[in-house]
A and B are shown apart, each in its own frame.
Chain A
């Protein structure tokens, strides 16, 4: 017998939550307990009083499971609101990465040249290394990291995706 899996599409969710202890574990645990996947999850406080956090989750699921994911998230007591940005309309997604490369000679020069093409900034440098900061969509960052692999990549840190809807209205 083979175990079948449903076809899935990627969705980006914005989840507003009360900033209370354990909320992240509650959300992450919900995904594991119900067999949903998480491709990316970021969280940060977004109000001046630090009472509300915005969690951005990238998940992939069938339409039917997606509806369940949203309903299950909304059922969590500390959740204010869940918006599926992918369905909501056009939105912007960004991610920030810091990429450390080590090398000398031509590799150093090539790394700097590629960084310029990708609008990556140098945020730390030694005579044998650079740390680049690069922002953009995940595909761009993937490509930048791939290229850095050829010029001395030794370490990567990524934030995961944050996203916001286009236009003049708040969600």
Chain B
């Protein structure tokens, strides 16, 4: 029989048993016993962030780039409430994360005690699951179960709220065996009959499109390889969502680019004209579908997803397949090969796609006097592609330009806040990614507005000597807000100018970073080279064309076929139905 130990020691033992190497957190009164246990054990690396929201994004960056769950440790009250944005972000983007929150001692719960917040109440609907542990004897099992739930099925954040007296009280802990949960049993393998049907439909399709989402990346690197194999043997065109970028190599002839609101002309037209769409781990988000009643009107639709509630949520599906997308891909490849299907003749379909590609929807005007943001991303890509960098972003125009112009060849290299659209995600996510990938080149492509939302994390990178690069596309506007104001409100720029900006070079230097300013096209390549040459964190303030907008664009409430390709197609107003959409 093992001897009793404190709840805090049980927690550390359980984390070690689960293979946790790094925790992102911030100490406070209600987690002091856990910090002391971690300090004494010396077995877990702790990254001290400067704000709890950053701990959650760092954990997301770590998780998304390594495939391992991210772990967060914060105190009660404000520690927990500050973490809520990142927890919600991880829920929306299906990121495996376990958030450990301190809580006031059980006898004080409900008394409005100092730094008390109803953490399980607040996080109930922004987490995949959550727990309030009132008994140290339950703590070990709950931690193991929390990791199981966070990492299996559709991944997501799990919150474990631990009152301070539970951290101090003692109990026995033994490592549990494999978890067989009473109620939680995600369906991993697809119904074989459904797989046969998908293969039938694919073999018969004349105009198929693979529509690929973040689920392929969540399923693990093997799923991306299987997707490539399926695309190779079927010859089908592939488009990806924002979260799915990297699941299929952007350099492939079969890749149509991203689809949706800022997707390519060819991806959106192919979706519109397809006779078969197979969604692999994608969820028909409103940013992807545009106007629902005009979405891919003549196609049969197959949806492969591990989360049944994602199927038929917005778009009616002809053939639902509930399964882990990697397993489903493996089955599809196997059945296709076993039947010795020849590669279908899609020549007509590819000819039409070539016609749409000829529109060159990612083309952009240049004048030689100012840096176009699209050019900056292309140059950054050209200078770093051979290093296979991990790219994080903030949220806004720069994020869309990064998605459009930075080609991704492999999964786990593209970390962005898709579902929630959280400004301030990129810098802490880069910290997490660099912690998980010490040798990788990690670049946060940022905007001058977003970067200020978690700017304090410059200090975290300095403290842990993380050689992160932050590349700011500085146009002195909250550019996406300004763009929508141009589209919808006749360019009345209500509060979208980034006034009183700091001097980012001096700011970088104040935090011990190197600062570089790029002011014109003739400095772009040298500035990027200088950034890469510096063995340490660098912040680049790249001054870009102030009024450049992100095209192509499907305006709110429009169909895939109603894309705006260039700024001169913008009318400046919208009807109320369109205005009311997000």
Contacts and interface: CB of A to CB of B under 8 A. Distances in A.
B121 A25 contact: yes
A72 interface: yes
B128 A77 contact: yes
A22 interface: yes
A68 B312 contact: yes
A126 B308 CA distance: 56
B492 interface: no
A2 B32 CA distance: 54
A80 interface: yes
Nearest to A30: B125
B124 A29 contact: yes
Interface in A119-168: none
A33 interface: yes
Contacts of A68: 309, 312-313
Nearest to B309: A71
Contacts of A75: 307-309
A1 interface: yes
A26 B124 contact: yes
Interface string B20-48: 00000000000000000000000000000
A22 B308 CA distance: 23
B73 to A, nearest CB: 22
B125 A79 contact: no
Nearest to A1: B576
A74 B310 CA distance: 12
A21 B132 contact: yes
Interface string B304-324: 000111011100100000000
Contacts of B576: 1
A148 B507 CA distance: 76
A25 B132 contact: no
A78 to B, nearest CB: 6
Given A71-B308, A75-B307, A1 B580 contact: yes
Given A1-B580, A30-B125, A79 B120 contact: no
B339 interface: no
B549 to A, nearest CB: 26
Interface in A37-62: none
Contacts of B184: 77
Contacts of B316: 64
Interface in B99-142: 120-121, 124-125, 128-129, 132
Contacts of A71: 308-309, 311
A67 interface: yes
A74 B308 CA distance: 9
Contact of A67 (B132, B312, B577): B312
B309 A72 contact: yes
Contacts of A74: 308-309
A62 to B, nearest CB: 12
B14 interface: no
Interface string A18-39: 1001100110011001000000
A45 B14 CA distance: 33
A64 B312 CA distance: 8
B83 interface: no
B307 A77 contact: no
Contacts of B125: 29-30, 33
Given A68-B312, A71-B309, A18 B124 contact: no
A51 to B, nearest CB: 9
B12 interface: no
Contacts of B182: 18, 80
Contacts of A29: 124-125
Contacts of A33: 125
B500 interface: no
Nearest to B132: A21
A77 B186 CA distance: 10
Nearest to A25: B124
Contact of A78 (B183, B309, B312): B183
**Quick one: which of B129, B309, B577 has the most chain A CB within 10 A?**
B309
B149 interface: yes
A77 B309 contact: no
Contacts of A77: 128-129, 149, 181, 183-184
Interface string A93-134: 000000000000000000000000000000000000000000
A95 to B, nearest CB: 28
Given A18-B182, A79-B183, A1 B124 contact: no
Interface in B381-422: none
Nearest to B311: A71
Contacts of A26: 124
Contacts of B313: 68
B149 A22 contact: no
Nearest to A74: B308
A18 B316 CA distance: 32
A61 to B, nearest CB: 13
Interface string B485-528: 00000000000000000000000000000000000000000000
Contacts of B312: 64, 67-68
Contacts of B120: 22
A31 B184 CA distance: 20
Given A18-B183, A75-B308, 18 more contacts: A1-B576, A1-B577, A18-B182, A22-B120, A22-B132, A25-B124, A26-B124, A29-B124, A30-B125, A64-B312, A64-B316, A74-B308, A74-B309, A75-B307, A75-B309, A77-B128, A77-B149, A77-B181
| Leading 6 A-B pairs by shortest Cβ distance | A71-B309, A1-B576, A77-B129, A71-B308, A77-B184, A33-B125
20 contacts: A1-B576, A18-B183, A21-B132, A22-B132, A29-B124, A29-B125, A33-B125, A68-B313, A71-B309, A72-B309, A75-B307, A75-B308, A77-B128, A77-B129, A77-B181, A77-B183, A77-B184, A78-B183, A79-B183, A80-B182
